[in-house]
Amino acid sequence: MQYNNLGKTGLPISRLSFGSWITFGNQIENNISERLMDIAYDQGVNFFDNAETYADGESERVMGDILSKKSWSRDSYIVSSKVFFGAGAKVPTQKGLHRKHIIEACNQALERLKVDYLDLYFCHRPDKSTPIEETVWSMHQLIMQGKILYWGTSEWSAQEIMEAHMVAKQYNLIGPVMEQPQYNMLTRHKFEVEFSQVYKTVGLGTTIWSPLASGLLTGKYNDGVPKGSRLDRDELSWLNEIIINKSNIEKVKKLGTFAKELGTSLPLLAIAWCLKNPNVSTVILGATKEQQLIENLKALQVEPMLTEDVMQEIETILDNKPQHPPF
């Protein structure tokens, strides 16, 4: 395994990590979840991603049960949670980024994950009804209490991230150090253009999700949505409508052919392409089967194959390179 520092921090994070969205406490049995975490950890993965809203908290309970059974030293792995949506929120105070929910959600995540502190704590979405100042203060207080080590954002805009940094600087607080955005061959603009100045100024660690575009970049949706697949799930119908279209399917088919010519698979090519971007701290992998995870962890071996000429060939197929402003 190879490691990057998380943004401008000194925290070494494995370039490939493992996440539990959709799967833990939902799509797969708990014994499979444990086996997948074993495989990841044994391969040098040190970051395990989670959130309060995944399976309404059950995902964190499953991961916590697994972690509590392991003899892994607590200083050998990084675990995260995210706050915003709540864990099956039923009343207004159980969601959002106001101080009450941030504090309560952190305490609940610690209990479910069975750890004394969270390494990374993400604001899962921006909260338009709470002043960013309140959110920054709350996160700073959790760090001062030793309940979290670093805080960051997920699916925030560059403007919102910079506003959080301005608040932190004004009051001498600890600002956000990482963002968890979607990034893959088919979703590029925010990561490559909008965040470009954030990387250069305050710095930004990134823990990217959906490197395979929810499975589209495996080729399994080339002939429709298979029964029981991720995009066949009712709760992901919105994602289905966004990413499955004729243009994307044509690109995926061409990429699949190109991957074979290179002597690799489409999923490995897609993950390696993400790794190639120097602003990617870690690529979060998901899996439902052992062999799937074992195979995708080989992406680091494919990355050296992505020469300048190969990357240009990929750009020609994708035909979606974001345009930077002319200033």
Catalytic positions, please?
54
Quickly count: other Cβ atoms within 10 Å of residue 116's Cβ.
Answer: 9
Whole-angstrom distance, CA of residue 108 vs CA of residue 131: 23
Whole-angstrom distance, CA of residue 62 vs CA of residue 71: 16
Residue 49: left (phi > 0), alpha (psi -120 to 50), or beta? Answer: beta
Whole-angstrom distance, CA of residue 326 vs CA of residue 323: 9
Coil/strand/helix, residue 266: helix
Distances (CA, A) of 256 to 219, 259, 272, 273: 7, 5, 14, 13
User: Amino acid letter at 281?
Assistant: S
Sequence-distant contacts of 191-195: CB under 8 A, at least 24 apart: 191/277, 191/279, 192/277, 192/322, 193/322, 193/323, 193/324, 193/325, 194/157, 194/158, 195/158, 195/279
Exposed / middle / buried, residue 262 (Cβ in 10 Å: 0-12, 13-18, 19+): middle
